[in-house]
Amino acid sequence: MSQETAFTTFIDNKLFQLQEQCRVAAEQQAAAQQQGDYAAYRLAQAGLGEAQNGLAYWADYKARNAALYAPGKAG
């Protein structure tokens, strides 16, 4: 496996993990809201925001990296 392929796999795995964190945090937030537990709701909301920020960062990083190493680009 080339270094570039390994790094792309790392980014894809990171994106998958963050998508799962978003899903879990959203489920926790919905459950806390349904139970009327404001503290748990805010905690889940913070976790969701953190996961969404990480997801946005790594998705942007992947897009910029792909554009940088696109076929026909000097590297």
* pLDDT the model gives residue 47: 97
Tokens of 20: 């799962």
Angstrom distance (rounded) from CA 68 to CA 72: 10
* pLDDT the model gives residue 49: 98
One-letter amino acid at 19 equals Q
Per-residue pLDDT of the chain (75 residues; tens, 9 = 90+): 777 788 889 999 999 999 999 999 999 999 999 999 999 999 999 999 999 999 999 999 999 988 887 776 655
Tokens of 22: 């978003």
CA atoms within 13 A on the CB side of 50: 10
